[in-house]
Amino acid sequence: MTTTPSDSDLIQSDVVAYLQKHENKSMLRFITCGSVDDGKSTLIGRLLYDSKMLYEDQVAALDMDSKKHGTQGAEIDFALLVDGLAAEREQGITIDVAYRFFSTDKRKFVVADTPGHEQYTRNMATGASTADVAILLVDARAGLMVQTRRHSFICSLVGIKHVVVAINKMDLVGYSEERFKEIEKDYREFAKNLGFESIVCIPMSALAGANVTENSEHTPYYKGPALLPYLEEIDISESDDAPFRFPVQWVNRPNLDFRGFSGTVASGTINVGDQIIAIPSGKRSVVESIVAMGDDSRTSASKREAVTITLEDEIDISRGDMICGKDAPAGQSDQFSVHMIWMADEPMLPGRQYLFKINNRTIAGVVTDLRNKIDVNTLEERPGKNVGLNEIAVCKINLQAPIAFDPYKDNRQTGSFIIIDRQTNATVGAGMIDHSLRRAANVVWQDLEVGKSERASIKMQKPALLWFTGLSGAGKSTIANLVEKRLHDMGRHTYILDGDNVRHGLNKDLGFTDADRVENIRRVAETAKLMVESGLIVLSAFISPFRDERQMARNLFEDGEFIEVHVNTPLDVAEQRDVKGLYKKARAGQIKNFTGIDSAYEPPMKPEIVINTVDMSAAEAAETIVKALEDGGYLTAN
C-alpha cells in the first residue's frame, strides 16, 4: 500500500502527527448491492487496486488467483479480492457478506460486499443494517432488475439515506449517454417514494476502471465526481444531540467492591456526574465513573464506544435493560407495529410464538396480525396469511413483557430486532419498529375481587385444561366425551371445546392452511384460559398439529394446569377408521392441507398422558385419564 507525498513527508518529519491525522479521520460504512453479476465484487476490487490500497503481496496473490480462478483471461479478476469462499469462486457469485477496511487521505472506509442472489437476501440485509451509504449496481445492458428494486427497498427500510446508483458495464453499451439517462430516469421514478436524501447516478465500468477513482474520458456528458472522490466527500454527519441510549449487555461484577454495567453506547453522549434513568424500572441515579479497556480515567462516552458505567446508587438493572439520559428516556411497550423481512424457508405464521431479540434482551412473542405484504417491484401493499422467504411485511407483534425501545426512524440501534425460531434457535427474520400500539398503554388489567381459586373451591376441584391432540380419527373427541361424562357423574364442573364445534362459531372464518390452524389454536387456547380462570376443568379436542402452537397454549397456563393428552394412533389405523370419510376425500385431492396426508403432524415430545387407542378401548382410555386426574389432586378442593 502506498502513501501520498504529503504523508511521506509527514512520516519523515513527525510520525506522531501522521498517526493522529489518520486516527481522527471520519469513518464511512457502505455496501455494494444489486442483482447477480452486476459487478459488485469487481467494483470493490477495482476501487482498492486503483486507489493503491493493496500491499504488493496482495496484488501478487490476486494475480496468481486470477490465473487459476479468474474469468478475465490473462487480466486481473478483481472480484477475487472479496469473493473469498471457494463456493463463491467456483460459482462466480457472492454468497456471504465480505467486509473490507481501507482508508484514503480523507476518510476511513468499511465496505460490505453483499450477495446479489435472491436466496441470500438475508445476508444483504445484514450488511445494509450498519451502512451509511449504498452503492447499488445496475448492469447497463439489463437495466433495473427485481433485485435492484428489492435491495433499494431494503436499503430504504433499514434507514440508509444516501444511494449511489453505479450504472456499470457501460463499456459494453459503448458508454451510451442515452442508455445512462434512460436507466437514471427509471431508477429515480422507482425510488421517488423511498425516502432517500440523495441519489447519485454514475456511469461506470468497474472492469475498466471508468469513473471509479477518476473521471473517465469516455463519459464527457457526466459532470459529477467519480465514485471514490464522492465517497470521500459525502456528508453523513448526524445530529450530535441524539438522546443517550445504553443497552446493558451484562452486569460487570468481578468482586464485591465493583458493580458496573457494560455495553456499547447506541446514541448520544454520557458524562461522569450526569443523571440517568433505567428502563424499565424507572429508577434514577448518577454516573459515578466510566471505564473502558485500559482507561479508567474516562469522563465521557459517545456513540459506538464500548464502556462500563458505574452508578452512585445500587439500583436494579439487568441485562437487556436500557440506561437513558434523565430528560429523554426511551419508550416502553409490549405491542408494536413493525416492518419485517422474513429470512427462513419456513413461512412466518401469525399466532405462532417466536423469540424476539432487541437491545440485548430476548423475549417470547407472537405476530398477532399480518397487515399486508409489500410487492418489491411495485411497492404496492397486498394481503397475505403468511410471510415467505425474502418477503417484506407490515405486522403487529405482541411481546410477553414490555421492553425499552425507540422507533427505528429515530434510532437504528434501539429500534431494530431479530426473530429467532424457538425450536431451532435459527434467526428467521429481522424487523424495524414503526411505533408502539397506543392500546398497549391504554389497556391495563382490571383487578377482580373473586379469583380462580375461589371459583374452583366452590366446585370442589382444581381447574385444568386437558389438551387432546392427535391425528384426525384418532379418537380425541370420543375419549374427551367419555371423560367429561365420567367427571359429570362425579359432580365436577367441565366444558368441552371440540374442534368441529368451534369452527361452527368462534372460528368459522378460518380455513385449514397452516396460518389458519395457528390462529385456530390461539383463539381456542385463549378461550380455554378464560374457562380455567372460572374454575372449570376444560377438555379441548383438536388435531393441533404443530408443537409451537401447543407450547404457545401451554405458556398461557400456570404450572400443572395444562395437561397434554396425546391420543397416539398410527396414520394407517386412523385412515382405516375414517369415520367421517375425510381421509378418502384427502387422498382424492378433494381436501387440501389435510394433516397426515399433505400437511405435517408433529407429535408431542413429553406429553403428560399418552393414550394408545390400538391397545385400549375408548372407555379404558377415559378411565386412565380420570384416574390421572384423581392422582394429581384435580378432583378435590384445595
pLDDT of residue 349: 85
pLDDT of residue 600: 83
- With a threshold of 0.75, does the pTM exceed it? no
List, in sequence order, every residue forming a beta bridge with 301; answer none if it has no partner.
270
Q: Which residue is associated with the grid cell 509527514?
A: 10
Catalytic residue among 41, 267, 436, 544: 544
pLDDT of residue 85: 44
Q: Where do runs of H (alpha helix) occur along 36-118?
A: 40-50, 56-69, 86-91
Q: Which residue is associated with the grid cell 389438551?
A: 467
**How far is residue 327 from each of residues 243, 284, 358, measured CA to CA in Å?**
8, 11, 23
CA–CA separation, 154 and 211 (whole Å): 26
CA–CA separation, 511 and 508 (whole Å): 8
Q: Who contacts 532 (Cβ-Cβ below 8 Å, separation ≥6)?
A: 452, 463, 464, 465, 538, 557, 561
Output the DSSP codes for 197-264.
Answer: SEEEEEE-BTTTTBTTSS--TT-TT--S--HHHHHHH------TTPPPEEE--EEEEEETTEEEEEEE
Q: Catalytic: 544?
A: yes
Output the DSSP codes for 125-163.
Answer: HHHHTT-SEEEEEEETTT-S-HHHHHHHHHHHHTT--EE
CA–CA separation, 81 and 214 (whole Å): 21
Output the DSSP codes for 584-602.
Answer: HHHHTTSSSS-BTTTB---
Whether the upstream peptide bond of residue 407 has omega within 30° of 0, thus cis, is no
CB 469 within 8 A of CB 546: no
Other CB atoms within a 10 A radius of the CB of residue 607 amount to 17
Flag residues of the chain having pLDDT under 50.
Answer: 1-2, 85-89, 92-93, 95
CA–CA separation, 115 and 113 (whole Å): 7
Terminal-to-terminal C-alpha distance of the chain:
80
CA–CA separation, 8 and 18 (whole Å): 9
Largest CA distance in the chain: 100
List, in sequence order, every residue forming a beta bridge with 372; answer none if it has no partner.
394
pLDDT of residue 203: 96
